[in-house]
Each structure stands twice: as C-alpha cells, then as structure tokens.
Amino acid sequence: MKKDGSPKADSQWPLWEVFVQPPGGAPHEHAGSVHAVDAEHALQNARDVYARRGEGVNIWVVPTNAITSSTPDDMGPFFDPGNDKPYRHPQFYKVPRGVKM
C-alpha cells in the first residue's frame, strides 16, 4: 500500500477476512482470507477461493484491520463472568424422578 492507503500495482493488496454461509441456514463461518484491491474484488476472489463447490449461499468480506478481537492474554478474566454460573445450564435444576421434560 502507498502512504495514502491506496493499493499500488506490485505491492501487497489489502487483506480481507472471508466468512461463508453454508446452505441450510447455518450461520456464516470464517473460511480464511484473501488479498484484494477493494470490497467487490475481495468478494470475487473469496468466491473463487472458498466456494468452488457450492459451499456457500452468501459471503461476507471484512477488511482484516476492521476486526477487533479479544486477546489470548485476557482470556481468563475476559470470559470469567460466564464460567462460574452453573445455574445458566439446565443440568443445574432438579426434576422429580419419572417426569419427562
């Protein structure tokens, strides 16, 4: 990339993350990444690279640098609020013997 952020011919084009939605209503899933000059180009490359056999009914492309991610170092404290609440799971609750739920 040139300093102004526009793509130059023989340098690395910007990186885009590709999310493909499989047929049957499942959610989009991360498939990989592609380099492309713009969003439309990224969509075409994503189709050619990640959906050659009907793997997808829809594709999202997102500039890689637009993604904010949690960090591995914070993993413990970050997910902690969800880890000590067994009462959020059905197994926590007792049902009289013989009753089908």
Partner 1 sequence: MDAKPTTSDDADRNAEFEARIAHGETIEPKDWMPDRYRKQLVRMMSQHAHSEIVGMLPEGNWVTRAPTLRRKMGLLAKVQDEAGHGLYIYCGTETLGVDRQELVLQLLNGTAKYSSIFNYPTLTWADIGAIGWLVDGAAIVNQTMLAKASYGPYARAMVRICKEENFHKKQGFEIMTTLAGGTPEQRRMAQDALNRWWWPSLMMFGPHDKDSPNSEEMQRWGVKRKSNDELRQRFVNLTVAQAKAINLEIPDPQLRLNEETQNWDFGPIDWDEFWRVVKGDGPCNRERLAARNKAHAEGEWVRIAAAAYANKRAAKIEAA
Comparing C-alpha atoms, which of 65, 53, 91, 31 is closest to residue 43? 31
How many Å is the maximal CA-CA distance in the chain? Answer: 71
Measured from the CB of residue 60, what is the shortest distance to partner 1 in angstroms?
Answer: 16
- Give residue 61's Cα distance to chain centre: 10
Instruction: Considering the complex, state which of residue 71 and residue 91 has its C-beta at the smaller distance from partner 1.
Output: 71
Which residues are at the interface with partner 1 (CB under 8 A)? 6-13, 15, 31-35, 37-38, 41, 48-50, 52-53, 69, 71-72
Measured from the CB of residue 42, what is the shortest distance to partner 1 in angstroms?
Answer: 10
Measured from the CB of residue 2, what is the shortest distance to partner 1 in angstroms?
Answer: 9
Instruction: Please tell me the distance from the alpha carbon of residue 16 to that of residue 52, in angstroms, as a whole number.
Output: 18
